[in-house]
Structure 1
């Protein structure tokens, strides 16, 4: 039995090359969720500057996404993953020694460059490794593994920070991330050019020109969707600490509880996408998250913040893997790496806007008002996906999935 299990692990195209490193990186990222806003605040930063530092990684990803899609064709999947991972992990560890808010911002920006290259290479691997009829479940499982790591990480990060200071989680990040590098090095198969063909013929600008109508509709919806997703990671710790007076360990516990709700829904989300269609998971996901954001200003203490955050986690779990599945469905085979780079660019634009909106609105008005802006973003995402984005799983594919 043990030999069969090892054989399964070795032969499965996703478990060791993708799922295991994803779990480690998600755990690493979760370590930082409850402490990053507080770490930046310790430099004496305003809410606006806190938002800028947290958004710096997303801004780095935004800058790199489309060039990374082109670079991926030249490097191949494995080399792209390795370069991206090493850049991400090294710059995150260096935050342990950062001496100013601007140094921290620069390191976060460079980490975003590495994350962009790794994410697009991983997305391409997933798009090519599974058929469309099972893609929803395969990518939802990937999303679920991300959520499991996010569930485990915040409580550990919050406890470590409470016991040893806000900087220790950066070193823990390096340990888990280094293990992900080793798995990627051993188990991801090396390729040359990812998609054969001439770069000039299948270039970035040609990809955008050919698919601009589709990218405009689906991209706008994704922009609003990722804004609300990114904003929750900033506004929940800040409301907990600055409005409700909760400590870092309590905030970590709340975020982990929401992640527990979130991670239980990845299989139902994938099943719904493959059985009924992608939009049957996408639209409810962002409308539920919008409802939770609208309720955040009503939180009065640990219990009410916990309940509202869990509602937001439920909505996010319903949408597990939806944006990656939709992007993989929409991407044309001949220009898949360039299309996915553009798709990531749009989504990362939303991730960049989320922390900036929270910080900017909180500085101009009050922190609770930023939650209402994020709620509006979630409503717009749901409505645009429902009305203007085509369903990518056709009836014939639904019958095959059955």
Structure 2
């Protein structure tokens, strides 16, 4: 349904803003593609070209990426409230331009880590902003569906790029071919963001003007950034439960990114086969969100998040048990299903609870916690793998993921207004 705003003439709703919404879906696909260029190639590059034998050292690029992206997420929300969404989006793509060149020509591992610092800034600014802009455009009634489209576009593109780079690497080597895709993505996205994307902050203001007074007095419209951080991280049960679930979700994604390819290679799988496995998980995750975001608008957020975290835990345990391509393929499909249930639903829950006046900052705080999971996961999995082996690291993350699902079941209240 389209919601008429005040005298400004701004209208909220997916149908009323279909052209801009579709454009932002395309831009976010390019954001996901920038990440997808690394998913298969960098773990193998660390092992084969830079001869890093310690898992913790090999995963430093994920630590750098995750920590930088997490911090940038926080500032992206604040900056987009202060200066507008579009300038933040364009700045994110400017930062992305050197990344492919650093990955192609970097003569030492430190250059690869630097590329991932810049990639973290790019991802934090661009992905956060496309999330915020879609929430601005659609209003409250189709928030889950909007987040489903947003996250699906990013992760389907990530999967397709991962598979493409795996095929390129198998035929032409780990460098430079796979990273030429990233160079094309960055140039195209910068052009679209500069020339075609329009500012959406006015839509958030229009929604805020007609937004009902929040039931919780702590959630009134005029909050400092510190207050927003405390409410999102700790004080509100739903917001804090979603924040910890987001963090654990990306903790296990760091495992899938950095550890799974090394496990598969240790069992003798080819680069092409590893590419297929690495693409299965984000492909199912991406396409699944087209359904799960819409589903959360129908049945609510809490139960989908709980179920998704528990399914992820079971899938990760199956990876630890398995030793063959068919078993791992099954596990990664399940991991994609579990993540699809969780990912857009967590964002929709933040949008449900946060007032439009401070929603962008709340999204930034949530994404600070969520993408901090990359750094925590890489450090934790790397340290445990160095000390006790790859399988023990995988079992540890499976247990943490199950615990996170139980926390959601106990602590979170249902946030969807019609459930």
Do these two structures clear the TM 0.5 threshold for a shared fold by scoring above it?
A: yes
Quick one: distance in 2 between partners of 1:109 and 1:87? 10
Quick one: distance in 1 between partners of 2:290 and 2:73? 29
Query: Residues 342-353 of structure 1 correspond to what in structure 2 (within 5 A)?
Result: 342-353=365-376
1:222 aligns with 246
1:14 partnered with 2:21: yes
Query: Residues 179-328 of structure 1 correspond to what in structure 2 (within 5 A)?
Result: 179-190=188-199, 202-210=223-231, 212-214=234-236, 215-242=239-266, 244-328=267-351
Quick one: distance in 1 between partners of 2:280 and 2:122? 30
CA drift of 1:202 comes to: 4.0
Quick one: distance in 2 between partners of 1:178 and 1:202? 37
Quick one: distance in 1 between partners of 2:83 and 2:45? 36
Q: Which runs of 4+ in 1 moved over 6 A?
A: 191-197
CA drift of 1:30 comes to: 2.1
1:24 aligns with 30
Relative distance call for 1:77 and 1:389 in structure 2 (3 A) is same
Quick one: distance in 2 between partners of 1:192 and 1:293? 40
Mapped contact 2:89–2:129 kept (Cα < 8 A) = yes
Quick one: distance in 1 between partners of 2:227 and 2:157? 38
SS of 2:152's equivalent in the other structure is helix
1:155 partnered with 2:176: no
Quick one: distance in 2 between partners of 1:207 and 1:317? 27
2:381 aligns with 358
Relative distance call for 1:10 and 1:68 in structure 2 (3 A) is closer
SS of 1:32's equivalent in the other structure is coil
- Counterpart among 174, 179, 186 of residue 166 in structure 1: 174
Query: Residues 59-98 of structure 1 correspond to what in structure 2 (within 5 A)?
Result: 59-98=67-106
Query: Quick check: which one's helix share is greater?
Result: 1
Quick one: distance in 1 between partners of 2:244 and 2:128? 19
Relative distance call for 1:320 and 1:248 in structure 2 (3 A) is same
Quick one: distance in 2 between partners of 1:192 and 1:281? 30
Moved more, 63-72 or 368-377: 63-72
- Counterpart among 135, 139, 148 of residue 143 in structure 2: 135
Quick one: distance in 2 between partners of 1:110 and 1:257? 27
SS of 1:132's equivalent in the other structure is coil
Relative distance call for 1:151 and 1:91 in structure 2 (3 A) is closer
Aligned-residue RMSD, C-alpha? 2.5
In structure 2, the gaps of 5 or more residues are 1-14, 209-221
Count of residues in Structure 1 that have an aligned counterpart in Structure 2: 385
Deviations 1:38-75 (A, max 9, x none): 11222122211112212211111123232332222332
CA drift of 1:255 comes to: 2.1
Quick one: distance in 2 between partners of 1:321 and 1:339? 15
Quick one: distance in 2 between partners of 1:327 and 1:50? 34
1:100 aligns with 108
SS of 2:98's equivalent in the other structure is helix
1:118 aligns with 126
CA drift of 1:320 comes to: 4.3
Quick one: distance in 2 between partners of 1:155 and 1:239? 18
Q: Output the TM-score relative to the length of structure 2.
A: 0.85
Quick one: distance in 2 between partners of 1:257 and 1:66? 30
In structure 1, the gaps of 5 or more residues are 1-7
Mapped contact 2:300–2:415 kept (Cα < 8 A) = yes
Mapped contact 1:59–1:352 kept (Cα < 8 A) = yes
Query: Residues 362-381 of structure 1 correspond to what in structure 2 (within 5 A)?
Result: 362-381=385-404
CA drift of 1:356 comes to: 1.9
